[in-house]
């Protein structure tokens, strides 16, 4: 038993894999852009230096996740997206 339904064809599996790649790549790119924008906004303000640095580092991790997701490493990309968002959230706590 491999968890697949009896009616699932290889073509359905290919579509599912393609959808997972696009989702990981798109989400990573979106979070990377949001992190860079937040970093730029915080850098101009009176926030401590660690805040824009955390946003920029989180954006870098999300960009790496986007790259891995586009290459089919969706599980690793998911974990990197989670880590990147957590780093950005941690940086927000210092603000």
Q: pLDDT digits over 9-42, tens only? A: 788 888 998 999 999 999 999 999 999 999 999 9
pLDDT for 1 equals 47
Q: Is the whole-model pTM more than 0.75?
A: yes
Tell me how far the alpha carbon of residue 36 is from its chain's centroid. Answer: 13
Q: pLDDT digits over 51-61, tens only? A: 999 999 999 99
């Amino acid at each position: 038993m491999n968890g697949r339904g009896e009616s699932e064809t290889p073509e359905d599996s290919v579509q599912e894999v393609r959808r997972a790649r696009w989702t990981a790549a798109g989400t990573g790119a979106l979070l990377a852009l949001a992190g860079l924008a937040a970093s730029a906004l915080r850098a101009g303000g009176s926030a401590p230096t660690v805040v824009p640095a955390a946003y920029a580092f989180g954006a870098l991790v999300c960009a790496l996740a986007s790259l891995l997701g586009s290459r089919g490493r969706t599980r690793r990309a998911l974990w990197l997206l989670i880590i990147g968002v957590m780093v950005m959230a941690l940086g927000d706590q210092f603000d």
